[in-house]
Amino acid sequence: MKTTPLRTPRAARSAQSGDRGMMSSRAGAAVVGVKPASEKLLSPRVSASVQRAAAQVLEQLSRQHRPALRELLQPLYLQAAKSNCLRADAVSIWEIAGETVWLPRFHFQRTSVVKDRIKVGIFAGIHGDEPAGILGLMDFIRELDETPEIGRDFELWLYPVCNPGGYLAGTRHSPSGKDLNREFWRGSQEQEVRVLEREIQARQFDGIIALHSDDTSPGFYGFARGDVLARQLLEPALKAAEVAQARDVRPVIDGFHAVNGMIYDSYDGILSAHREQKPQPFELILESPAVSPLVEQRRAFSLALASVLSEYRKFIAYGANL
Ligand SMILES: [Zn+2]
């Protein structure tokens, strides 16, 4: 598939005026668990404009302000505009209480060579009050673009803000008061769920990864849903994340039986593939401890995601040699 570098997407440009209103009306919205942190996450190769945009996001977060969508995503939009492997657009654009919001989507493919690629969807921010996953996925997208080798053999579909209304309001739930992560494949009327279900059906992912934060957990942990493979990917991912975050090793986490930070059960209605998709993708949920410094949670997500791609690539290569 040809990857065309995009300008700042139409969604972002048309939302510009609305964003200003959002900023003033949301100026008091506190970001839970955010502590000031220096920006250690940008590689020196990143352009000055991306650095500036990223610094602005961080500066707002350090003042306990929640940047508007366009400002939050600006570093990635600038990066995508100059990239040969990263594209930016929106899954859907709609209005919430007169304000334009959109569900941003990024697409990564290392080269434009036509070949079979492993298709993985990575989703963050389905709970609007969990900024670490949003920022961690944004960091990972930047890393992919700076070091495309991380994403070799993959076609990645990346959705950093799956509940834009909840993010802007600083709430777990959607603006209509629903926990979106209990609504999937149950005939939900929630806009975010409907467009994500369509997206998941259309892409038929080989893997689905969702990022969350838990404010009752002292460490990083994860859920592996379905097959043995998901479990085999989760252990190395948690191990990789340990560089930034200790693992939650309690025997019971969030009410579920856990082994060394791994849970093999889940709630119903979570973001996942349709149960009739064949073959079923591997499905992982990564959970960061919301009480720990944001910079550490972000790093843990980046490290864990890179590990999943690398381990899955090894698995596919091994399978091909059988
Ligand atoms: Zn969550």
| pLDDT for res 10 | 34
Cα-to-centroid distance, 33 and ligand 1 (Å): 14
Question: In the chain, where are the structural domains located?
Answer: 85-320
Largest CA distance in the chain: 59
Cα-to-centroid distance, 85 and ligand 1 (Å): 29
The backbone torsions φ and ψ at residue 89, rounded to the nearest 5 degrees and listed phi first, read -160, -160
Query: What DSSP designation does 187 have?
Result: T
List beta partners, residue 118: 154
CB contact set of 225 (below 8 Å; sequence gap of 6+): 264, 266, 272, 283, 284, 285
Q: What is the pLDDT of residues 221-253, one digit of tens each?
A: 999 987 788 889 999 999 999 999 999 999 999
Of how many residues is the chain composed? 322
For residue 120, the Cα-to-chain-centroid distance in whole angstroms is 12
Cα-to-centroid distance, 89 and ligand 1 (Å): 24
Distance, CA of 227 to CA of 280 (rounded, Å)? 9
Amino acid identity of residue 64, one-letter, is Q
Cα-to-centroid distance, 90 and ligand 1 (Å): 22
| pLDDT for res 237 | 98
Angle at 102 between CA 281 and CA 97, to 5 degrees: 130
Q: Give 122's pLDDT tier (boundaries 50, 70, 90).
A: very high
Cα-to-centroid distance, 287 and ligand 1 (Å): 8
Q: What is the pLDDT of residues 34-89, one digit of tens each?
A: 333 333 445 556 688 888 888 888 888 877 788 999 999 999 999 999 999 999 99
DSSP string over 215-264: TT-SSBEEEEESSHHHHHHHHHHHHHHTTTS-B---SEETTEE-BTTEE-
| 85-320, CATH topology level | Aminopeptidase (3.40.630)
Q: What is the pLDDT of residues 266-283, one digit of tens each?
A: 899 999 999 999 999 999
Q: What is the pLDDT of residues 291-311, one digit of tens each?
A: 999 999 999 999 999 999 999
Distance, CA of 39 to CA of 54 (rounded, Å)? 8
- Is the pTM higher than 0.75? The answer reads yes
Cα-to-centroid distance, 56 and ligand 1 (Å): 25
Give the closest residue to 286 by CA, choosing from 218, 225, 209: 209
Distance, CA of 313 to CA of 229 (rounded, Å)? 12
Alpha helix segments (H runs only) across 151-225: 164-169, 191-203
Cα-to-centroid distance, 127 and ligand 1 (Å): 5
Distance, CA of 59 to CA of 101 (rounded, Å)? 23
Instruction: Scan for tokens 């945009």, then name that residue.
Output: 53
Cα-to-centroid distance, 47 and ligand 1 (Å): 32
List beta partners, residue 14: none
Cα-to-centroid distance, 110 and ligand 1 (Å): 30
